[in-house]
Structure 1
Amino acid sequence: MAREHTLFVMAQDIPWDEGLYSGTRPGLRSKVLSIDEAGTDATVVVEYPAGWSADGPEHCTAHEEFLVIEGEIEINGISYGMHNYGFFPAGYVRNSASTSDGAKLLTMFYDAPQYQLGETEEPHDPKLLVEHVDPLPTEWDPGLVDPQLSAGVAIKPLRTDPYTQETSFLYMSPPHRVPPGMAKPQWTHSMVEELFCLAGTYVWGDCGRMGPGGYCWWREGVYHGPAGTDVGYMLFVRTVNGPLDNIFDTEKKPFSWDPPYNPQLPERLRKHAKPFTERPLA
């Protein structure tokens, strides 16, 4: 099911809900960043309080993709720290899950999640499993970036879906892109691009300045930009409905470092939206 175009909202401005949107996981808090029309697939920030643990073994009925944005969580004996990543297919068994000091995870659910004790009768798809990625010690790869984009940007790959070629990755830019006075075209994609800002600031010429906690569900065929950064940034990026592509307009438009905040948001988010200010993530 489709989700509404969202570009952009700061996660810090969205209120917390108790548990998850599907009615499971009491004791946690969550913020729904985007959700489909059926109320099933969603992207949320999930807060695990200090001392939380889950009874195991258990499994989730939905695919669960996550990136740690604050704190640390242990799952099946593996410690997931800052910016650590995992993709657990539906039915993947968690024998243990806990956090000592608390954690916040950016989490993508591929259906309305329910957590059930024990193992499932149908085991998870091993081709989908990405048990653990710690991107911190790996090198940034500029060779994975679209050559139409400015020099200096680079990627750390996290996952490529073996069936759909959808991808998840970290994306970074150095500062001073684009210099004042330059003009660039707007651009779009043939697929959905989901963005979450982890560090730095990303300036959208038509929407404003986005900082850590900034979130986008960029629908296919919708043009935005020009865009740039004066201080650099790091983003989590996920593509939906296929691999990443970029479609550039032919007309160049002037770029400013200080555009007004002019978001394109669903009604439920519009009432919470505020311009970016420096504050704790999510």
Structure 2
Amino acid sequence: MREHIDYIQAQHLPWEQADQLGFDVARMKLLSRDDETDALSCILSVPAGWTRAAGSLPFDEEIYVLDGALIVDGSNFLAHSYSFLPTGYQGNAFSSETGATLLYFRSEQMAQELASDAEKIRARLVRHIDLSEGQWDGDFDQFGLGSMKAGARMRVLRQDPVSGETTYITATIAFRRGEKAERHPIAQEFFMLAGELSGPLGTMQAGAYCIRPPMAKHAPYGSPTGALILFRGFGGRQETFWEEADPFTFYPTHQPILPDRLKPFSKLQAPQPRY
């Protein structure tokens, strides 16, 4: 089971070598990890000239390029490009001519029958999505988030036909504010790609990371600037249960929920003076 983190600014986390992931000469910032299954989420930085050979792997991989450029199975991934590579998929060669920084998610080891079922591999694969192309066509209602439609848009990146798990992006307009708290029956993590977001535990800025266990209460949220956020759920299909909450404020007290290993960074999370 992963630790409850709500929230940490990734800018303050240390870089470490990523050879434990099989990525020679790459560096990572570990966001969260399940010590029982080795599933993990991290920021991965690869240098210019870096490569990884293709091969059948016993786990799923998800990537989202934050900056630089990555080549995945011959396709060029620029910033805000996404891919989901299911277990058993062999078109997973990576390289970078210039270097790249990306969000990298690895699942627990998947059942062997998934790795050998060509039809399921094809159905689960999301080869390449460029967020600068296409439409914000996601339907908030299917996740029980219909109340967000007035001030936000959604882009669904994947809906797994086997597990029901979903990864999506939301973009909110400036000064949108929520009114109720939420709970989900699955674990959910998110990473702030841009903007600012205020909630009961403080004000998050670009680079903020959260991961919550099933049914953890959170929200309401609001943003004075607008926000771009990547959400990733695991453990099944996402639903949302709403309940009453304290009144929302754009100026919350800084009081994040952090495991002991991250508490030394807590005082660094509060927004710094702008002027």
Answering whether residue 262 of structure 2 is matched by residue 269 of structure 1, we say yes
1:133-166 residue CA offsets vs partner (Å, 9 max, x unmatched): 1121112136435223361211111100101211
Counterpart in the other structure of 1:37 = 35
Answering whether residue 55 of structure 2 is matched by residue 58 of structure 1, we say yes
Aligned equivalents of 1:233, 1:82: Cα separation in 2: 17
Answering whether residue 97 of structure 2 is matched by residue 103 of structure 1, we say no
Once the two structures are superposed, the pairs formed by residues 82-121 of structure 1 within 5 Å of their partners are: 82-94=79-91, 96-111=93-108
1:100-146 residue CA offsets vs partner (Å, 9 max, x unmatched): 22111101101379xxxxxxx94762222111111211121364352
Counterpart in the other structure of 1:254 = 247
Aligned equivalents of 1:103, 1:25: Cα separation in 2: 13
Q: Which piece of structure 1 moves more, 10-19 or 240-249?
A: 240-249
Flag the structure with higher helix content: 2
Answering whether residue 183 of structure 2 is matched by residue 188 of structure 1, we say yes
Q: Secondary structure at the match of 1:60?
A: coil
Aligned equivalents of 2:116, 2:109: Cα separation in 1: 18
What is the TM-score of this pair, normalised by structure 2?
A: 0.87
Give ranges in structure 2 of 5+ residues lacking alignment. none
Q: Which amino acid aligns with 2:70?
A: I
Q: Secondary structure at the match of 1:253?
A: coil
194, 198, 218: which one aligns with 2:193: 198
Aligned equivalents of 1:226, 1:12: Cα separation in 2: 24
Instruction: Number of aligned residue pairs: give it.
Output: 262
Structure 1 stretches of 4+ with a deviation exceeding 4 A read 121-124
The Cα of 1:52 is off from its aligned counterpart by 1.4
Counterpart in the other structure of 2:124 = 128
Q: Which amino acid aligns with 2:197?
A: Y
Aligned equivalents of 2:140, 2:11: Cα separation in 1: 31
Aligned equivalents of 2:132, 2:65: Cα separation in 1: 12
Q: Secondary structure at the match of 2:148?
A: coil
Counterpart in the other structure of 2:160 = 161
Judging changes above 3 Å, is the alpha-carbon distance between structure 1 residues 11 and 226 closer, same or farther for their aligned structure 2 residues?
same
Counterpart in the other structure of 2:24 = 26
Counterpart in the other structure of 1:118 = none
The Cα of 1:224 is off from its aligned counterpart by 1.9
The Cα of 1:230 is off from its aligned counterpart by 0.8
Answering whether residue 46 of structure 2 is matched by residue 48 of structure 1, we say yes
Q: CA RMSD in A?
A: 2.3
Judging changes above 3 Å, is the alpha-carbon distance between structure 1 residues 130 and 143 closer, same or farther for their aligned structure 2 residues?
closer
Please say if residues 138 and 156 of structure 1, whose CA atoms lie closer than 8 Å, have aligned partners that are also in contact: no
Judging changes above 3 Å, is the alpha-carbon distance between structure 1 residues 33 and 263 closer, same or farther for their aligned structure 2 residues?
same
What is the TM-score of this pair, normalised by structure 1?
A: 0.85
Once the two structures are superposed, the pairs formed by residues 3-22 of structure 1 within 5 Å of their partners are: 3-22=2-21
Please say if residues 46 and 104 of structure 1, whose CA atoms lie closer than 8 Å, have aligned partners that are also in contact: yes
1:191-224 residue CA offsets vs partner (Å, 9 max, x unmatched): 12211000111111x2111111110112222212
The Cα of 1:70 is off from its aligned counterpart by 1.3
Counterpart in the other structure of 1:228 = 222
Q: Secondary structure at the match of 1:260?
A: coil
Give the % identical residues.
28
Q: Secondary structure at the match of 1:231?
A: coil
Aligned equivalents of 2:72, 2:271: Cα separation in 1: 34
